[in-house]
Amino acid sequence: MRILCLTPQFPFPPHKGTTLRNYNLIAGLALRHEIDLLCCADSPPAASPLDQLCRRIAAVPIPPRPTWRRALDTLLSPWPDMGLRLWSSEFQRQLAAWLRDGAYDVIQVEGLELARYTLPPGPLSANETAYPSGGRRPLIVFDDHNAEYLLQKRIAAAEIAARGWNAGAVYSSIQWRKLRSFERQVCRQSDRVVCVSEADVIAIQELDPALKAHVIPNGVDTDFYRREKAAPLDLPPPALVFTGTMDFRPNVDAMLWFARDVLPLIKPRVPEVHVYVVGQRPHARLDGLRADPAITITGAVDDTRPYIAAASVCIVPLRMGGGTRLKLLEALSLQAPLVSTTLGAEGFAVTSGEQLLLADDAASFAQSIVELIEDRARAQSLGAAGRLFAVQQYDWRSIVPKFEAVYSRQGRVSIPAGEA
């Protein structure tokens, strides 16, 4: 089978959610299929493992959108920000050229930012006769990494509750309404819709009860995220570790809430506690945390595994967001004791007290952390159970065949001539 993958960035190195999913899907699919990769990137690495995994690769730079343009588009454009962010005439031309000569069986669109190319007048919206492979239209598979309209709706609600009607709340309130229409249209246009969790399927079906979606969760490379390979750092215990891209609004909110409401409840009971915020591009809103000697903001690191492996407890204090969190799978795979909000573990079949502890208010979140710091036997038991859970249910080797099953299902969306 010949598959064209469209990704929102060059999926290597696989250091965060989107690139982790995209790289591991390509690596798994390439074992049995022929892969072409078309991605958005200004300067991809000169060499990467993708050179051996893919038949051909093209990386297209996306024109920058200045802040004033984004603000104007937010107010005046019918498209949501995610429909404008990666729109490029050069990408459109490259995609059209590959469609003419590629004879693809499947076109896999990774995420909503690229899904506009499936809509009129995008190249993927053409009717059956526009494709060279015997007049047969390739199967269009839309991999929806989050129910994006729901993500922005949750962010808007959380911002309003925490800080009132600030610029972020206004932005998200406008965006989720635009995204609701956009995401519905994209899902209707696609032959297959894939979501990462049952919760996201429910959210997509709220857009249109007739929509069908398949659940294919995020996975983890359980061999790479093995404690024996992690070489833990020498972090003085008790060390609390949070990992993530630190200009992502749900991650910023999580650590601001933790530092303001949770950490002060831990310090009187564990005075030596130290928090490590590990991730690239720390947002300016986090700068105030640097004054606290109990908090270290690392910025980008080459490898998060040594921090996770050294953690007394990994924390996932998320209060907003959607999809599923790869940071949680990485911690489980590395046998790290883990405390998360229910939202932070959404989409995973975990049970509080078996693989991790779940807590949703500041007092119970702090209490759960203190319990694991004080009871190391229980912490180690949870870590071992978390590792087994990740290996048995979320290794990428068991995730990739789920996509192949989706490709082989009968039936496709037909686009009558003249309606594309």
Nearest CA among 286, 312, 298, 285 for reference residue 382: 312
> What's the whole-number mean pLDDT along residues 126-146?
72
DSSP sequence for 43-75:
S--S--THHHH-SEEEEEPPPP--HHHHHHHHH
* CA dist 179 → 83, 145, 148, 153 (Å): 9, 14, 7, 10
163 pLDDT higher than 90:
no
Report the SS3 class of residue 194.
Answer: strand
Q: Using 50, 70 and 90 to split pLDDT, how confident is the model at 202?
A: very high
415 pLDDT higher than 60:
no
Summary count for the chain: helices (H), strands (E):
15, 13
Residues 159 and 166: beta-carbon distance below 8 Å: yes
134 pLDDT higher than 60:
no
Q: Using 50, 70 and 90 to split pLDDT, how confident is the model at 324?
A: low
Q: Please, what is the end-to-end C-alpha distance for the chain in angstroms?
A: 25
> What's the whole-number mean pLDDT along residues 127-140?
63
pLDDT of residue 124: 79
SS3 content of the chain, % helix, strand, coil (to 5): 45, 15, 40
Give me the residue label for tokens 């099953």. 405
Cβ burial, residue 82 (10 Å; 0-12/13-18/19+): buried
Report the SS3 class of residue 225.
Answer: coil
> What's the whole-number mean pLDDT along residues 374-395?
96
pLDDT of residue 412: 42
> What's the whole-number mean pLDDT along residues 278-282?
94
DSSP 4: E
> What's the whole-number mean pLDDT along residues 189-211?
94
Domains along the chain?
A: 2-219+398-408 (3.40.50.2000), 227-394 (3.40.50.2000)
Token reading at 263 = 């950490």
> What's the whole-number mean pLDDT along residues 243-252?
92
Rounded Cα distance between 103 and 110, Å, is 20
Nearest CA among 198, 197, 194 for reference residue 186: 194
Rounded Cα distance between 152 and 175, Å, is 7
pLDDT of residue 238: 97
pLDDT of residue 334: 97
Note the pLDDT tens digit of each residue in 326-352: 899 999 999 999 999 999 998 888 999
Cβ burial, residue 67 (10 Å; 0-12/13-18/19+): exposed
- Burial pattern 251-273, b for ≥16 Cβ within 10 A else e, equals bbbbbbbbbeebbebbeeebeeb
Residues 115 and 109: beta-carbon distance below 8 Å: yes
Instruction: Give the rounded percent of residues in the chain with a pLDDT score beyond 90.
Output: 78
DSSP sequence for 262-285:
IHHHHTTT-TT-EEEEE-SS--GG
Rounded Cα distance between 258 and 252, Å, is 10
Summary mean pLDDT of the chain: 91
Mutual orientation of helices 376-394 and 326-333 as an angle, nearest 10°? Answer: 120
Angle formed at CA 132 by CA 130 and CA 135, multiple of 5 degrees:
65
DSSP 208: -
pLDDT of residue 414: 32
Note the pLDDT tens digit of each residue in 41-88: 998 888 999 999 999 999 999 988 999 999 999 999 999 999 999 999
411 pLDDT higher than 50:
no
